[in-house]
Amino acid sequence: MRKDWHQVCQTLWEFDRRAAQGVAVVAGVDEAGRGCLAGPVVAAAVILGGKPEDWVGINDSKQLTKARRAALCQHITASAVAVAVGVATVAEIDHLNILVASRVAMGRAIAGLPHKVDTALVDGPYAPLFPADEVRAIPVVDGDAKSLSIAAASIVAKVERDAMMAKLAEQYPMYGFERHVGYGTSEHLAALRQYGPTPHHRTTFGPVKALIEAR
């Protein structure tokens, strides 16, 4: 059955309005790359503004094709009130753990917005960490499927991270980063076994850690 994207957009928009409780500036926040074996975790914060009909087609990034995500990311970046990206490095992921690093990246994304945020709607059960701790954060489990601004952030985070991994693929062409973007696919695991980990692999993650210990 074909989705009515106008209705989907209206539903997601209304969730934001209810959750924000009438405050002036609401940002959606999400991250990409949490489950990967390589590369940073990347978060985005988006203040949409406008009207629901300005954002028809926005949905959870996992429900969209690569081409559709790219087009929507371009639209969001050009038309939203503000967009910012925050990154936590592989070194930070290994030092802090992936949960804390994800929350740090989200805090950095919020801090990078040029507008003061009254409320941040955040995908998942945890709030961002400093420097965004002065912002009222509302964790929303499965938020990228419920909130329009979180869905927008999920698109930007995914597109930005994919672009980073494509650049990494130019440096390490044998790993296929441009295809699996760091996830533990059979292709990626085979390359790890053949070539060993790069400096961009997360050494605390099971398959990478096991390979290092075996060597």
Pairwise CA distance, residues 11 & 27, whole Å:
17
Annotated binding residue at 92?
A: no
Name the nearest CA neighbour of 102 among 83, 86, 120, 84: 86
Cα–Cα distance for residue pair 125/37, rounded to 1 Å:
22
Sheet of 136-140: strands edge to edge? 82-88, 41-47, 26-32, 119-123, 136-140
Under a CB-based contact definition with an 8 Å cutoff, are residues 122 and 128 in contact? yes
Helix (H) or strand (E) holding 26: strand 26-32
Would the annotation count 16 as a binding residue?
no
Residue 97 buriedness (CB in 10 A; 0-12 / 13-18 / 19+): exposed
Annotated binding residue 213: no
Close Cβ partners of 59 (under 8 Å, ≥ 6 residues apart): 5, 8, 12, 145, 151
Please report, in range form, the residues annotated as the binding site for a divalent metal cation.
30-31, 123
Please report, in range form, the residues annotated as the binding site.
30-31, 123
